[in-house]
C-alpha cells in the first residue's frame, strides 16, 4: 500500500517571507503615490502662478558677471555657461587645494613625530589650533586680511618683474598664448606614458637579472625633455603676457582674485591639519620593528621614512 502525505498549504498571511514581501510592496506603492501627489500638486500650483519649471532657463541670458573664470564669460552668456564657469572654478580650487593639502599635511604629520622638541610642539599647535577654528571663520579671516591689508591697484606691491599684489588680487605674468603650448602639454602626457612603461619594463628586468635601472631619472628626463624639444621645434617662444594697470585694475596676465586666494588658503590650512593627523596615525600604525630592521642594514633616516615607513603607512592613511 502506497502512503501519500498531503502537505497543507500555508496561507500567505501566515507565511513570514510572503508577508514581508507584501509589506515592502505596499510601502513602495505608498511612497510612489505620495511622490506622484507632491509632484503633480507642485506642477499645478506653478502653472496657476505662471511660473515655468524645467531646465529651459539654462538657455536664457544670465545678465550677471563672474569675478573669475577659467573660460571666457560675460554677462551676455546664458545660465548654462555660468554653471560651467562655476563647475570649472570649483575643480580648479579642488585640484590645487588637494595638491597643497597633501604636501603640507605630510610635512606637518611627519613633523608631529619629530624627535626635535620645538618642531614637534609647533606641529602639534598647528594641528590643534586649525582643527578647532571653524573653516568658515578662517575663510572670513583670510579674505578680510587680504582685502584690508594690501594697497589699492595704483599702489600695488611689486616684489619683482611681472608680479603685482593689491587688494584686487594677485596679478602675474604668464607665457603669451602660442600653438606650441598645446603640443608641449601633449608631450608631457606622452612622457608620462613612456615613464610608466619604462617603470614596468625595469621591474621585469630586475626580476630576471637582478639589475637596477635608473627609473626615476629616466622618467624625469623623458617628462621634461619631450616638452623642451617640442618647445624648441616650434621656435622656442619666449613672449610673456605681463599685466598692466588700466583704470582701476590690472588687465592681462593671470589674475587671482581675493576670493579665490582666501578660499584656497582657508581650505588648505584647515584641511591639511586633518591630513597631518591621518599621516601621523598611519606612521604610528607601522610596527617599530620595521624601523629597527631598516636601521640594522644601515639605511639613513630619510631613506627609512621614504622607502620603509611611508609605503606601509599609506594603506592606513588612505
Which domain CATH number covers 260?
A: 1.10.3720.10
Does residue 38 form part of some domain? Answer: no
- Judge whether 67 lies within some domain: no
- Cite the DSSP H helix spans in the chain: 16-48, 79-112, 117-131, 135-149, 179-209, 215-233, 258-285, 288-296, 301-303, 310-317
Query: Which residue range forms the structural domain that includes residue 298?
Result: 286-317
Tell whether 290 and 144 lie within a shared domain. no
Number of domains in the chain: 2
Same domain, 120 and 141: yes
Tell me how far apart the terminal alpha carbons of the chain are, to the nearest angstrom. 72
Within-domain flag for 248: yes
Q: Which three cell numbers stand for residue 27?
A: 510601502
Query: Domain for residue 48, yes or no?
Result: no
Q: What is the dihedral of CA 261, 262, 268, 269, to 10 degrees?
A: 130
Is residue 114 included in any domain, yes or no?
Answer: yes
Residues 280 and 151 in one domain: yes
Residues 118 and 246 in one domain: yes
- Output the pLDDT for position 2: 44
Give pLDDT tens digits along the chain (318 positions).
444 444 567 677 778 888 888 899 999 999 999 999 999 998 888 888 877 777 777 888 888 888 788 888 888 888 898 999 999 999 999 999 999 999 999 999 999 988 899 999 999 999 999 999 999 999 999 998 888 888 888 888 888 777 888 888 888 888 888 888 888 899 999 999 999 999 899 888 888 887 888 888 888 988 889 989 988 888 888 888 788 888 777 887 788 888 898 999 999 999 999 999 999 999 888 888 888 888 888 888 888 888 888 888 888 888
Amino acid at each position: 500500500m502506497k502512503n501519500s502525505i498531503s502537505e497543507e498549504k500555508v496561507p500567505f498571511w501566515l507565511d513570514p517571507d510572503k508577508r514581508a514581501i507584501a509589506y515592502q510592496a505596499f510601502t513602495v506603492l505608498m511612497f510612489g503615490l505620495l511622490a506622484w501627489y507632491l509632484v503633480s500638486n507642485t506642477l499645478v500650483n506653478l502653472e496657476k502662478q505662471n511660473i515655468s519649471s524645467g531646465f529651459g532657463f539654462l538657455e536664457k541670458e544670465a545678465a550677471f558677471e563672474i569675478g573669475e573664470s577659467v573660460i571666457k564669460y560675460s554677462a551676455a552668456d546664458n545660465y548654462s555657461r555660468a554653471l560651467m564657469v562655476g563647475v570649472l572654478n570649483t575643480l580648479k580650487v579642488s585640484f590645487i587645494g588637494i595638491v597643497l593639502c597633501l604636501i603640507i599635511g605630510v610635512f606637518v604629520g611627519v613633523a608631529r613625530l619629530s624627535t626635535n622638541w620645538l618642531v614637534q610642539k609647533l606641529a602639534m599647535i598647528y594641528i590643534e589650533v586649525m582643527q578647532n577654528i571653524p573653516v568658515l571663520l578662517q575663510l572670513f579671516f583670510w579674505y578680510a586680511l587680504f582685502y584690508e591689508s594690501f594697497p589699492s591697484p595704483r599702489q600695488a606691491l611689486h616684489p619683482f618683474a611681472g608680479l603685482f599684489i593689491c587688494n584686487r588680487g594677485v596679478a602675474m605674468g604668464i607665457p603669451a598664448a602660442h600653438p606650441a603650448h598645446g603640443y608641449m602639454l601633449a608631450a608631457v602626457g606622452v612622457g608620462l606614458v613612456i615613464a610608466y612603461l619604462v617603470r614596468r619594463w625595469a621591474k621585469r628586468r630586475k626580476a630576471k637579472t637582478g639589475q637596477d635601472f635608473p627609473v626615476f631619472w629616466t622618467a624625469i628626463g623623458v617628462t621634461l625633455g619631450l616638452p623642451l624639444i617640442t618647445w624648441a621645434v616650434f621656435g622656442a617662444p619666449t613672449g610673456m603676457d605681463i599685466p598692466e594697470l588700466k583704470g582701476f585694475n590690472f588687465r592681462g596676465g593671470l589674475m587671482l582674485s581675493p576670493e579665490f586666494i582666501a578660499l584656497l588658503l582657508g581650505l588648505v590650512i584647515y584641511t591639511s591639519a586633518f591630513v597631518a593627523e591621518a599621516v601621523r596615525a598611519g606612521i604610528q600604525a607601522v610596527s617599530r620593528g620595521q624601523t629597527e630592521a631598516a636601521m640594522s642594514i644601515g639605511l639613513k633616516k630619510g631613506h627609512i621614512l621614504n622607502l620603509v615607513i611611508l609605503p606601509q603607512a599609506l594603506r592606513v592613511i588612505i
